[in-house]
Every structure is written in C-alpha cells, then in structure tokens.
Structure 1
Amino acid sequence: MAIYASKAIAQQAARMPDVINLSFGEPDFGPPAFLQQLIEREGLSWQAFMHSVKGYEQPKGSPELRQAVADWYQQRYGLCVDPEREVMITHGGVEAISLAIQCTTQENQSVIVSQPSYMLYERAVSALSRQPVALSRPTGEAEYDAALNAVGEESPLHQAGALIVNSPENPSGYMLNARDWDAVAAYTHRHGIWLIHDEVYDTMAWSERHRPALGHPILQDNTIMINSFSKKFGLPGLRIGWMVAREPVINMAAKLHDYFYLGVNKQYEQIATLILRESCIGAWLEETGAMLQRRMEQAIGRLTHELGYQWPRQPRGAMFLFPEVSSLYASMPTKWRDESLTIGECVAAYLLHEKRVAVVPGHVYGKNSASHIRMVLCTPEEDYNRALDRLTQERES
C-alpha cells in the first residue's frame, strides 16, 4: 500500500534545497503561548508522568476529558452530549474514522465517499475490506443537495452502509449549508445509511457558522461525529481525538479500541483537558481562524485567472486552497505537459521544479478534481508570503 500523496510530496520537498512546502497540513500555529506555564506545571510534571505510565486508560478515555468534550459542544453549539455514554477519546481523528467505519458497516459493504474529499477516507475504507463508492459533487451553492438529488433510483449508493462527510472540507474548504444538511438527512434516513461527520476543522469556518451533524433533528440517531486536537490547536503529534455518537455505537467502538489499542496516552489526555478547559481558548481559536481567512483572501487576490488560477469553489473554511489550473497548464512550457499525467500532476511538478513550491495534485482527492491542485494555508507567515511571491512571478522566457 503506497504512502499517501501529500506525505510523499512533503518528503520529496524536504530533500530539495529552498523548496517551500505547501503540501502537508502540519499547522505552524499553536498551541497558544499562554498555555505554556499551565501545561508545564500540570501536564508535564513528574506526578503527571507517573500517573500516565503506571496504568492503562479505560477504553472510552478519561472522564475528565469526555466531560470537557461534552462541554465543548454545549458551549459552542448548544448541543447536549452525555459524556459517559456518548463520547469516546481516540488516537487522533484517524482512529475515530476507522472505528466509525467498522461500527457501521460489514466487510465488503460499500461506503459513500464524496469527491473531492480527504484522500485517507477511500484508503481507510479499502484497508478495512469495505468498498468505497464515489459521490461526485458539482460545484455550486449546495453541492450535496445537488449531488444526492441527482442519484438515480437504481444507484448502488442506496446499498451503502455509511456516508462520510467532511465539513469544513479538506481539500476544497467547502462547508455544508442548511440545504445540504437537509438533503443528507433525508437521503441517509430514507436508505438506512449511517452518517460519519468528520468535523476536525470546525473552528476554521468563516463563510457561515459550523453546523455539527448531530444538531440536525433527523440525524441524531444515525450520526457519528469525529474531531481532533491536531488541526485546530496545531498539535498533530498529541494524537488525541474523539468521537460522539449514540451509546450503542460508543460501546462497540470502545470494545474495538480495547482489542486493538488498549488505551490512549493518559498524560496527553490531561494536556488536552487543560486546553479545552482554558477560558481564553475560544478567543485564540477565533484569531487563528481570522488569520487563515486573511491568507485565503490574500491568495485568491494574487493567484488570479490571468496567471492561470480559477476558483470555482472559494473556500468557506478549513485551511486549504484548491484552485483549478487548466489555464496554467496550457501556458506552461511543453516539456512540463505530459499527456500521460493529469493536469494537476503536471502543474504540481512544474511548480515544484520551476517555482520551488510543493503542492498536491488534485486527482488524489477524486477523479473530478484532476485539473486542481491543493495548497495549505498553515505554514509560517514568512514562508507563505515567499511562496505567493514565487507563484506570482512572471515565467522566464
């Protein structure tokens, strides 16, 4: 099984001098500096260390962190979540995705993965001996509404066990609006399909307020929500995530978690609890989201159609740019236009070697994105500005 594209490109870029890496989503920001003393005192002390290493964590995770997660939903979204029965702590969002797929489907059953979407979904589904089936979304104001209403009566999608939705979305920054959520709710309810809502970019929403799937009245009994500390707090190495669902799902997930992992790191759980409990964290998250929005607007303002960049989807959230680049491809020197490759692959190779900027070709996020590239917004400020300067330089003749 091959390494996934963004990591492979990031590794290649690391071996090349003076390449600015816009391919891999490891946030430069976070955690907030005001947490340093608190974490050093209560999360990294000898006492905290010994408490964490002298015993296994219980399968659902620490009661304190589960309560903090429940409070997160109550305070931010007005949702009531039972921390004892409906919350489970996981090894990051990726484990939660894996558990959600296993809890809702059987081997060889299909799982609906929209296009475009995070490349890991399709691979996780396949690795778990399920069958990914694509839901291709047209660009527009309500893409899930349009895509699901276009599904024919005899479509194999109706037999799927689960539908994975990422909102805000990697790679496009798309966010489901009210029409989309109504369409998803109606479709999954009609066909008895589980919904897995990956909402790890929930605090990075600027076009409209983030909507957790469990807030929809029809989705409360057939939804699993996935979240993580990796992106919003800039802590991918902490490997702490969570899942929220009805009690039977959480109980099954806890058993699977116990079979494969035994428990998450208790010291990291304690640090995660400190972060969620910090009263200033909400303001810091708002500032971080505003910074990402400014970078997005800056990029769209500079990467114009005259330079070959089109924006059929202007990001509504998350931390990515996903321009369409067929015009840039047409203007590139002939040596970079390889008909055996997708447009995105050719443009990515051109930008890497000629502009010294690493990006990801769009085809890895779905067949309907073969003429796109993905860039991240979460690099150091100086690197980000230098990358935009390189991308907007006139090509030497």
Structure 2
Amino acid sequence: MGEEDDLARWQNLAFGYVDPRGAPWLRTAIAGRHEQVSSDDVLCCAGAQEAVACVAGALLQPSDHAVVVLPIYQPSEQAVTGLCAATGVPLSYSDWQLDVDRVAASIRPNTKLILINFPNSPTGVGLDQQTLLALVDVCRRYGLWLVNDEVYAQSECDLARASVAPVVDSYERGISINGLSKGFGLPGLRVGWAVCREQAVLARALHAKSILSSCVSSASEILAHVALRSEPTITARTREIGRQNRRHLHSVLAAFPDLFGRDDAQTLAFGFPRYLGPDGADHFAARLVRDAGLMVLPSTLWRSPLGSVPGNHVRIGLGHRRNAEGLDAFQQFVAVRRAA
C-alpha cells in the first residue's frame, strides 16, 4: 500500500533513534485527520496508553485533583491516580449515559482535568454531540483539561453518525488520544499519539515520554504512515470483520434469551451483553476458559476504587477473524452446559 515516498523511506531504513516527537511526515498525516491542529500539535508515542500516561504526567501534580468517568481501562485510570487524588463518575447503569451534572458536582477547586473514554470500553457506548458540548461547557467554565481516549472511534457501528467529534477539535483545552491498535487492527506497530493545541503541554508530555519509550520504532513510523494514508481500505476490512462477528454474536445471544440480555454496545470491536445466569458472570467466564479454552471478560475486570462498576456483563471480542470460530465454540459450550 506504500506510495513512492513511503517505499523510498523503507528501502533506506536505518535503525537509529528518530525524532522523539514522531517523524514530521507522520505527525502531518495524523494532524490531517483533525480540523483545528497542525503537525506541531501532535506527539507520537509507543501506543495510545503511553500517550495517556505522558499527558497525565504533563498536566498533574500531587496537589491536583482529577475526575475519571467510569468504567475505563485501568492503566489509564492509574496513570491519573498514581499522580493525584481523583473522583470517579460512573455511567448510568440503565443506559450507559453520562450525567454531566454529576461530573460538574465532582469538581473541586484544585481539579485539573477530566478523563473520559468515548467510544467507551467496555460498554461500547458513544457520547452524543449534545452531551459532549455540555461537558465542554463545564470544562471551559472551570478551566479544565478534557482528555478523551478515542481509540475505538473507527469501530463505531455507524460512522455516518459517529457520536463524538475529536475533543481537540471541539475544545481549546481538549486532548485527543488515538492510535492504530483498535480500528486499524495494527496493535503490533505500537503507534499511538496525543493531539493537543497547547505547545507547553506537549513539551511537558515529551519530557514525560523521555523516561518511557524515548521514541517510536523507525520501521513502525513508516508502516504507520502507510496505514494512515490507506485508512479507508484498512478500516473497511476490520469493520467488515466486526460486522460479520456482531451478527454472529447476536444470533447466538438470541438463542439463549434466558442467559443473555440484549447487547447495546454500538461498536464493531466487541459486544457487552448482560449475563443472566444464576452463577454470575465471573463464574461463567472462568468455566468458559477452563472447559472450552475461550476467553470473555467479565465486567468485574473493570472494577475501580473510584466507584462501582456492573458485575453482570461479559465483554466478547469481535475484531478478529478467529472470533467467528470462537463464537461457534461459545454457542456449543452454552448449549451443552444448559442441557446438562
């Protein structure tokens, strides 16, 4: 998929250190996915999680306070709680919606940032534009940074109605985190990024990065640039895999209405149905691993000291071709176990 300049870089590839911010041509390609930024507003990292950690390190001091919307990927939460005090604001369990008033009520005089993850994992819900604008209004009123992990943006079921514009385009103190691991299906490249309009913050994030990865792999930079240029082709493939597996999952769930509730996740990357069995989601997931060699993630894995998370759901991956075979084995396991 490489164009002439990509091929020239590949043929002349050297394995020395590269620009710790990311190659200018790679940052230009990332900036081109946004409306309000330039290449100078991009910091490339070894995966999106490193980008979260670097941004947290750039913004937070021990005397600060942060608000974290739950559930969220624990290392992202810990990137914040390892630096300062934090308050958790759980999504509504009934419909997984964010209560912006509850977020506002959690703000303290020393609150510095709000950390969110939309489209959300593990619930699979998005954030509608009205709620995003209300959240931005709260952040602007109190002068807060809004950091959003947007790695599942390319995996939403309906891209034409994508729920959240990148926060960096929506708010002058918004910071968008993204990467190639999810929607692009390229986690092995280990390329993620933070996009921020404030140069001083990126400079501090770069300082935090210096004690972590130093720089992205030179080979990964080239391949990442090819992937970004080929985004429609690559994401079309991953999305079709997700669509097929999502239909497959829903047919399996429909066969066992006594054991599984409706899957409301609006993502092609995973499902998140409620488990209705009397043994509970944890026990079901453990039996599935032990007896069938299949792994689903009970929602208790997203537990947090900052607030309660539901314990009766299972997160089922849909993003890989192998998941189709896994869903067949999943259905067989459930059918045999229920019959027994």
Q: Percent identity?
A: 23
Question: 1:267 and 2:219 equivalent?
Answer: yes
In structure 2, give the amino acid aligned to 1:264.
V
8 Å Cα contact 1:321-1:377 kept in structure 2: yes
Aligned residues: 329
Structure 2, gaps ≥5 residues long: none
Q: Secondary structure at the match of 1:225?
A: strand
The answer (yes or no) to whether the contact 1:88–1:254 under 8 Å persists in 2 is: yes
Aligned to 1:209: 162
Change (3 A) 1:135 1:68: same
Residues 166 and 151 (structure 1 numbering): CA distance in 2 closer, same or farther, change over 3 Å? closer
Greater relative contact order structure (CA < 8 Å, 6+ sep): 1
Aligned amino acid, residue 125 of structure 1: V
Work out the CA distance in 1 between the residues paired with 2:124 and 2:328: 23
Q: 1:388 to 1:91 in 2, by over 3 A?
A: same
Distance 1:391 1:159 in 2: 51
SS at match of 2:55: helix
* Aligned Cα root-mean-square deviation (Å): 2.7
Query: Cα deviation per residue 1:210-237 (whole Å; 9 max; x = unaligned)?
Result: 5211332xx2x21111111122222212
Cα pair 1:110 1:132 within 8 Å, conserved: yes
Name the amino acid aligned to 1:182: L
- Match of residue 63 from structure 1: 24
Q: Per-residue deviation at 1:391?
A: 4.7
- C-alpha contact (below 8 Å) 2:245/2:323 kept by paired residues: no
Partner of 1:15: none
Taking the aligned partners of 2:49 and 2:70, their CA distance within structure 1 comes to: 19
1:80 and 2:17 equivalent? no
TM superposition shift of 1:39: 11
Show structure 1 runs of 4+ deviating over 6 A.
36-40
Q: Distance in 2 between matches of 1:385 and 1:39?
A: 42
Partner of 2:181: 230
Q: In 2 relative to 1, CA 344–289 (structure 1 residues): closer, same or farther, beyond 3 Å?
A: same
Q: Which of 135, 142, 161 does residue 191 from structure 1 map onto?
A: 142
Question: Which residue number in structure 1 is paired with residue 310 of structure 2?
Answer: 369
Report the TM-score when normalising by structure 2. Answer: 0.86
Aligned counterpart, 1:129: 83
Supply the distance in 2 between the matched residues of 1:254 and 1:265 (Cα, whole angstroms). 16
Cα shift at 1:152? 7.3
Q: CA deviation at 1:173?
A: 1.0
Q: Deviations over 1:84-111 (max 9, x none)?
A: x211111111110001111222125333
Helix, strand or coil: the match of 1:167?
Answer: coil
The alpha-carbon deviation at position 151 of structure 1 amounts to 5.1
- In structure 1, what is the Cα distance between the partners aligned to 2:221 and 2:228? 11
Helix, strand or coil for the counterpart of 1:58?
A: coil
- Return the alpha-carbon distance in structure 2 between the equivalents of residues 358 and 142 of structure 1: 24
Q: Is the 8 A contact 2:67 2:107 kept in 1?
A: no
The 1:385/1:351 distance shift into structure 2, 3 A limit, reads: closer
1:113 is aligned to: 68
Letter in structure 1 aligned against 2:183: K
For 2:285, give the aligned amino acid.
Answer: A
Do structure 1's residue 310 and structure 2's residue 261 form an aligned pair?
yes
1:253 to 205, 212, 217: 205
